[in-house]
Amino acid sequence: MPSTQPVTARGRETRERIIRAAAELVAERGVAGTSLDDVRARAQASKSQLYHYFADRDDLMRAVARAVTDDVLGGQTALFTQLDTVEGLRAWADALVALQHARRAKGGCPIGSLAGQLAEHDNGARLELADGLDRWESAIREGLERMAARGELRPDADPRALAQRTLTAVQGGLLLTQIRRDPNQLRIALDGALAAILAARTEP
């Protein structure tokens, strides 16, 4: 039995509630530490509702992966529009670091964290996360391309590579932040990525 898409408004709310509850629990305890009964309880739903809207546990986790990527990306949309200026890039980086301070360096990147837990086990989830990273990288790349279009980047600068490296700095920096419980790790990593972008600007 594949998962069913809700038809009524009530159904949509239920499905939504389940995903949200599952995402919260996964963030708190990890994929392995989250049982369907935990989800059921927090979502105030019944077992049949879970299996009405999701084929099985993996299907639910795939939906969680999608919701989490949407959340992570959604939380940055305002900052994404400013990624075509040095100040905008700085503001974006500062916000990421501030968030890690607020979270006391716990949890790392929700996307990266899920990657380690799902990528090798469920290919669908892997693709979902890959899509999230693509959107993230695209946002950075497009900012840099706008800078380039205004002639602020040297002709030999490669916005694609710069964006990819910035994203690896984010992910690597968050991993070190998480393991070392030190938000400064992300700060240092992002400083390096921004320095590379600064170095690619045209001489004034």
Q: Is 69 among the residues that bind its own copies (CB under 8 A)?
A: no
Among 14, 69, 100, 171, binds its own copies (CB under 8 A): 171
Among 10, 74, 156, 203, binds DNA (CB under 7 A): 10
Work out what residue 41 binds among DNA, its own copies, none; the CB cut-off runs from 5 to 8 Å by kind.
Answer: none
Among 24, 30, 36, 191, binds DNA (CB under 7 A): 36
Phi, psi (degrees; rounded to nearest 5) at 106: -100, 150
Q: How far is the CB of 110 from DNA (least distance, A)?
A: 20
**Cβ proximity to its own copies, 15 vs 66, nearer residue:** 66
Q: How far apart are the first and last CA of the chain?
A: 63
Helix axes 110-118, 57-74, angle to 10 degrees: 160
Among 3, 16, 30, 49, binds DNA (CB under 7 A): 49
How many CB atoms lie under 10 A from the CB of residue 179? 11
Contacts of its own copies in 101-140 (CB under 8 A)? 106-108, 112-117, 119-121, 126, 129-130, 133
Question: What is the spatial distance between Cα 84 and Cα 34, in angstroms, rounded to a whole number?
Answer: 40
Q: Which of 71, 145, 142 is nearest to 111 (CA)?
A: 71
Q: How far is the CB of 10 from DNA (least distance, A)?
A: 5
Q: How far is the CB of 9 from DNA (least distance, A)?
A: 5
With contacts defined by CB under 8 A, name the span among 16-24, 82-90, 139-147, 167-175 that binds its own copies.
167-175
DSSP label of 203: P
**Cβ proximity to DNA, 34 vs 185, nearer residue:** 34
Q: Is 55 among the residues that bind its own copies (CB under 8 A)?
A: no
Residue whose structure tokens are 């999230």: 132
Phi, psi (degrees; rounded to nearest 5) at 83: -75, 10
b vs e for 115-141, b when ≥16 Cβ sit within 10 Å of the residue's Cβ? Answer: bebbeeebeebbebbeebbeebbebbb
Q: Where on the chain is the footprint of DNA (CB under 7 A)?
A: 1, 4, 6-14, 34-38, 45-49, 51-52, 56-58
